[in-house]
């Protein structure tokens, strides 16, 4: 049982939102994903944003370690997904949603080839040491030309242990620039995060294109 399993079992899921993410609604049109796109949502939890992406006409493929949020996501929409075991993974599907339960790093490219992706609270959930592998995996699971939206969160890392782990703009540039085009669409200073004890913090929103 991982810390993530424990958090879902004890409902310590402070990242989960009951509304669609306003930065997704604002910036997704700029990403210019075709309506027919299969949108990958890594480390998806049971995010409502998957529902919004489906409303745009996309199919959605979520990747999630813990089965509880996947089961909740389908149940809360009155959907009964088909289930298929694939090695260490379980694939749940009920159109337009596919959700793959298991470790993101066990997902083979033969299982997912996405035209677009959406990362909110995914990359920041992983410590810095795992992020190079995360970007490699993102590249493996997307097609050349795939477009993505990334929302970051950055703060002085020594002020909290994480997750979320700080993801500063310099790290985004270092990790993505070799194989992706990146464009910062917005940077937001988070004054309310001072209440959490951060001396400073910001979020950046990126459009990415896989070369
Ligand atoms: C901070 S939550 C964010 C969930 C979602 N993106 C959202 O915005 O609500 C991170 C999620 O990633 C999942 N997770 C953590 N490590 C993972 C891994 N190696 N493979 C797949 N999912 C993972 C956790 O179970 C958790 O649901």
pLDDT of residue 191: 83
Whole-number average pLDDT of the chain: 97
What spacing in Å lies between the alpha carbon of 5 and ligand 1's midpoint?
Answer: 10
Q: Residue 2: inside a domain, yes or no?
A: no
The residue contributing the CA closest to ligand 1 atom 19 is: 103
Q: Residue 45: inside a domain, yes or no?
A: yes
Asked if the bond preceding 163 is cis, omega within 30° of 0, the reply is yes
CATH code (residue 83): 3.40.50.150
Which domain covers residue 193, as residue numbers?
21-210
The residue contributing the CA closest to ligand 1 atom 26 is: 45
The CB of 119 under 6 Å from ligand 1? The reply is no
The answer to whether the predicted template modeling score (pTM) of the entire model surpasses 0.85 is yes
Q: Using one digit for the tens of pLDDT, what is the confidence trace for 95-104? A: 999 999 999 9
| Mean pLDDT value of segment 45-59 | 98
Tokens 């410590």 -> residue: 127
Q: Using one digit for the tens of pLDDT, what is the confidence trace for 128-167? A: 999 999 999 999 999 999 999 999 999 999 999 999 999 9
The CB of 165 under 6 Å from ligand 1? The reply is no
Q: Residue 16: inside a domain, yes or no?
A: no
* Ligand 1 pocket test, candidate residues 45, 46, 50, most atoms within 8 A of CB: 45
Ramachandran region of residue 197, left (φ > 0), alpha (ψ -120 to 50) or beta? left
- Structural domains counted in the chain: 1
| Mean pLDDT value of segment 114-133 | 98
The CB of 45 under 6 Å from ligand 1? The reply is yes
The residue contributing the CA closest to ligand 1 atom 16 is: 65
Q: Residue 105: inside a domain, yes or no?
A: yes
The CB of 43 under 6 Å from ligand 1? The reply is yes
Q: Residue 120: inside a domain, yes or no?
A: yes
Q: Residue 143: inside a domain, yes or no?
A: yes
pLDDT of residue 192: 76
Q: Residue 41: inside a domain, yes or no?
A: yes
The CB of 4 under 6 Å from ligand 1? The reply is yes
Q: Computed over its alpha carbons, how large is the radius of gyration of the chain?
A: 16
Give the model's confidence band at 114: pLDDT under 50 very low, under 70 low, under 90 confident, else very high. Answer: very high
Burial of 23 by CB count in 10 Å (0-12 exposed, 13-18 middle, 19+ buried)? Answer: middle
Q: Residue 7: inside a domain, yes or no?
A: no
* Ligand 1 pocket test, candidate residues 125, 131, 151, 163, most atoms within 8 A of CB: 125
pLDDT of residue 10: 97
């Amino acid at each position: 049982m991982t810390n993530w399993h424990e958090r879902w079992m004890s409902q310590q899921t402070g990242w989960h939102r009951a509304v669609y993410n306003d930065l997704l609604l604002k910036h997704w049109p700029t990403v210019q994903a075709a309506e027919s796109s299969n949108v990958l949502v890594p480390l998806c939890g049971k995010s409502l944003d998957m529902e919004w992406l489906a409303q745009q006409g996309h199919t959605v493929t979520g990747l999630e370690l813990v089965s509880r949020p996947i089961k909740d996501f389908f149940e809360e929409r009155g959907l009964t997904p088909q289930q298929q075991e694939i090695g260490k993974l379980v694939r749940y599907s009920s159109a337009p949603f596919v959700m793959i339960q298991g470790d993101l790093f066990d997902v083979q490219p033969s299982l997912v080839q996405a035209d677009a992706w959406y990362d909110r609270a995914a990359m920041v959930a992983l410590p810095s040491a795992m992020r190079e592998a995360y970007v490699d995996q993102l590249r493996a699971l997307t097609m050349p030309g795939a477009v993505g939206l990334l929302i970051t969160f950055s703060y002085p890392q020594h002020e909290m242990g994480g997750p979320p782990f700080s993801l500063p703009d310099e790290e985004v540039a270092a990790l993505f620039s070799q194989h992706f085009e990146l464009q910062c669409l917005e940077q937001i200073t988070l004054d309310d995060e001072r209440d959490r004890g951060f001396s400073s913090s910001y979020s950046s929103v990126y459009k990415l294109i896989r070369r």
